[in-house]
Amino acid sequence: MAKNYYDITLALAGICQSARLVQQLAHEGHCAQEEMSVSLRSLLEMNPASTLAVYGNNEANLKMGLETLLGVLNANRQGPGAELTRYTLSLMVLERKLNANKAAMNKLGERLDQLDRQLAHFELESETMLSSLAAIYVDIVSPVGPRIQVTGSPTILQNPQVQAKVRAVLLAGIRSAVLWQQVGGGRLQLMFSRNRLFEQAKNILAHC
């Protein structure tokens, strides 16, 4: 069966968008607000009608992720590009570990379902919700390992609000990594189908 590279590229851009947001938070203490919103909202789309529906049914919502993906596919082994590649691959590895742990996956589903009740009272980007998302990451995702080493300014990374945002965004990255597997993504494509992924990302970006 032929792979749907459009859906695979969208989900991969979702992972890359989370990676870029983590990098911004770790180095600057803040990140692109609209893009973070898109990533966090993906956590609420558990039964989407399509891959694009996970990201608000708009390709432009993944512009940052698609641009980051082009950089990752072209990455040098050093500098900011290498950091983004490491985050992207680490999220993929962590998702595979999580997927192999059925108890953790079930617990994750339950905890995400409970978010709806909180959303009746709080905005998704409120400190309360970010703390809840961070707690889900710490309680369920982190223990399955390996831990994702976030690098940046030590002073910024000691800030509890920044820590909560980083973990919430990593949780969104795991959501995209789950989706990537569901639509037929796999690590081998990063080795053998880079050109197809690169061209597909460029084509989607041209519409944005």
pLDDT one-digit tens code per residue, 27-80: 999 999 999 999 999 999 989 999 999 999 999 999 999 999 999 998 766 667
Q: Is the dihedral of CA 156, 60, 133, 102 positive or negative?
A: negative
Is the model's pLDDT at 1 over the cut of 60? no
Q: For residue 66, what pLDDT is reported?
A: 98
Contact 156, 26 (CB under 8 A): yes
Structure pTM?
Answer: 0.96
- Angle made by CA atoms 32, 18, 82, in degrees to the nearest 5: 105
Domain count, the chain: 1
Q: For residue 8, what pLDDT is reported?
A: 97
CA–CA gap between residue 18 and residue 23 (Å, rounded): 9
Each residue of 136-165: pLDDT tens digit?
999 999 999 889 999 999 999 999 999 999
**CATH code of the domain in which 112 resides:** 1.10.3890.10
The proportion of the chain whose per-residue pLDDT surpasses 70, expressed as a percent, equals 97
Residue 187: pLDDT band (50, 70, 90) is confident
Residue 25 Cα distances to 8, 46, 53, 103, 158, angstroms: 26, 26, 26, 31, 12
Q: Which domain holds residue 190?
A: 5-207
